A and B are shown apart, each in its own frame.
Chain A
């Protein structure tokens, strides 16, 4: 548990690392639209080529970039089978009771799995090249229009940054509690579902008690120092976007337009 799984930030100086987090998030959504909009082989070839270039530009090992796909490969197989067997349609290849294997279902299954894999790798590239704190700051910045409908974006950003800072502490705490409960005979590895479920209670309740104790201490300390709300806090001026950021946005928008209007 101490080593974070795939998707975590990997420091670097690549082109992708240097792009502004706001731009990376916007580009991610634009490219995600391009993936969802792909409806032909040419469309998928385009997004695959873009993805290959992004992995190249990120200077990350291919194995790291595709690691989350390997982790959920069984899950992807289930999606493929569920689509292939339950999609229905006229072109049935074989049927067994409620299961109907159809050509349309197989095609739909492959399409869904490909979309999931491509979006998964795109998201992984975003998180591996951007610090979580940069992502929260970028989300605060991108969420500014929400202020007009009454969403307190500053408070949300404060909550997110406190959450981020607490994660390593909570992880350590959870690890300690798990070790302590194992020493007291908790059977986390039991094959019986009921024993496994019963082992959760002595793990979860102390984690919450300890976490809420920390919340109590921090809120008292903040209030004692005069903290009232996030609205009046000052912050470092955000750096303007660089030429490379505008270029990345333009290229992504062009790819999306190509996908929706020019490719068959």
Chain B
């Protein structure tokens, strides 16, 4: 039942926060903090060994009848992968509440309601194992996120918000069609009309059908991840969103795309996915380089961070389609590290904007003199982002490269060049904003440095990224059984791999 509470608590907390907002603007903040803290406690109690049994390795599961007439059940299952992503989600949501304390002063109740509902949807996505239920939560994330961007965002918020919604919704309807075709194929083969993931695993179909269905799922997740060329919504949405929105988008929503690839695309269509792997890996490599290149060219600090996400997610795509243990473990660490480091960078950009009212790096410079704490943390996360050993991102990127090296040497070599490009834009950020000669600041004469609230948040994030960099083993232990099961069901069938081998010869 704790899985159900994990979803229900933020959902109901959102309603409560909305109602409370009419009484006093600070109540929603406390309610959101309290609700997320409870949720975090529940999630922490779930840390533990998975019960492995053949094709599954669940830590906890729940199956309630929902729409029995259509073969849909309310089926939630938690494995190590889901658990670490849920922990990341809740922690980043908590942080989002804290850092919005002074930034959001308008419609506070509705803001926190939307924030909690996004969290609900994301947790649901990470737990749902019925394909319809998954789609339900997938769609549920959309509207509150739209509101977060459209109502509390910056100058071009409406444009950015609508672009985000249209990209996501268009691609997810394609996924719905693919889900339905898969379900009907399964029904024709077995007579059962069901949306159960475990039942649908291993459905027999022709390679052409499998390819198109795989593509339907892939596009939906590729838009969220995002994969070049479906990434154009991302810089706009990230830049225009309020800080909390950017943190959630980058830290959490992008991970749902990666999770979908891991959980659904490869296991449901192993042969098609393996045939598609070279294309996907090429897209990943393009994303790494293209994202880094564009990040390099930005003057807007927030846009720079947004494009760096595209680059980091390219590694995730590369790792997913390399599909071996090392690469997959790298993918998990990369997702966590990216959530932490990019989240932190967005928080710092937000704090900076609150103080000097600009994100334009041409107007910055020499901030270290006036805001040493902010600049110091900025540098830590910038170098985390470029993959300095000892910090979490390094572990992720290194493992992914190690894993993909076994699959394709050329892609790995090109992807490694991306690391150099990453160093270039990250150091450029530090150089232009924090170092150099102090330029006259528009607005206040003497901006205030980070306050205790921000310092606490940054402290937690720094500890997390260092912990992940120095001792990632607990994460590996937690996700290993789940990943092993996924890897097993996603392995290409023998005939397909021999065919591939012959083709290669």
A binds B: no
